[in-house]
């Protein structure tokens, strides 16, 4: 990070680079559309240019996303490096949502740590695991038997 520049400056720079790439891609797509229309085949030109616009937009979105992700990692590393790392008491760890803390003893503490819950709240880690299908603090990533997720439709899907 350059002297005098902060994380916000990096974010603005990344976003402006991404939008610049988007504008260049749109300009190229416009020129391609004009060329195709002038040469004949309007229907084919519209189809091809639409494909080009989608491809250009995808490339720009990917670039902007990777720049934002990179900026996010750099910012987090900077914040982690600057922040003092004293030993936190167990109550602060539990409030922060770390799995190392003890299980909540009140409904308010449970909802602060895991979010609002309808009905009665699970009072023990075993009850939590029976209700949600995973131990407290270890939320699974990806499909599970209870939550298989969704899939993207393809051309060979039955209608």
In a domain, 76, yes or no: yes
Name the average pLDDT for the chain.
75
**Parent domain of 34:** 7-82
Q: Mark whether 24 and 73 lie in a shared domain.
A: yes
CA–CA distance, 3 with 74 (Å, rounded to integer): 15
Q: Mark whether 73 and 22 lie in a shared domain.
A: yes
Domains held by the chain: number: 2
Question: pLDDT tens across 130-142, in order?
Answer: 888 778 876 666 6
What is the model's pTM?
Answer: 0.27
CA–CA distance, 148 with 130 (Å, rounded to integer): 17
Higher pLDDT, 152 or 9: 9
Question: pLDDT tens across 53-85, in order?
Answer: 888 888 888 888 888 888 888 888 777 766 555
Work out the average pLDDT over 111-128.
86
Q: Mark whether 42 and 73 lie in a shared domain.
A: yes
In a domain, 112, yes or no: yes
Closest CA relative to residue 14, chosen from 26, 22, 3: 22
CA–CA distance, 134 with 147 (Å, rounded to integer): 12
Two tokens, residue 78 = 């900077």
pLDDT class for 99, splitting at 50, 70, 90?
A: very low
The predicted pLDDT at position 94 comes to 43
Count Cβ atoms below 10 Å from residue 13 Cβ, excluding itself: 13
The answer to whether residues 37 and 45 touch, using CB atoms and an 8 Å cutoff, is yes
């Amino acid at each position: 990070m350059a002297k005098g520049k902060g994380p916000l400056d990096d974010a603005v720079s990344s976003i402006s680079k991404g939008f610049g790439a988007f504008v260049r891609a749109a300009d190229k797509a416009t020129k391609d559309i004009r060329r195709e229309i002038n040469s004949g085949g309007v229907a084919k030109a519209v189809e091809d240019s639409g494909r080009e616009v989608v491809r250009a937009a995808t490339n720009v979105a990917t670039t902007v996303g990777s720049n934002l992700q990179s900026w996010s990692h750099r910012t987090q590393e900077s914040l982690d490096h600057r922040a003092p790392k004293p030993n936190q008491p167990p109550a602060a760890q539990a409030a922060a949502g770390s799995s190392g803390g003890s299980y909540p003893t009140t409904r308010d503490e449970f909802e602060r740590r895991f979010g609002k819950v309808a009905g009665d709240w699970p009072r023990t880690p075993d009850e939590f695991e029976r209700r949600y299908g995973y131990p407290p603090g270890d939320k699974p990533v990806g499909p599970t038997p209870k939550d298989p997720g969704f899939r993207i439709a393809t051309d060979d899907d039955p209608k």
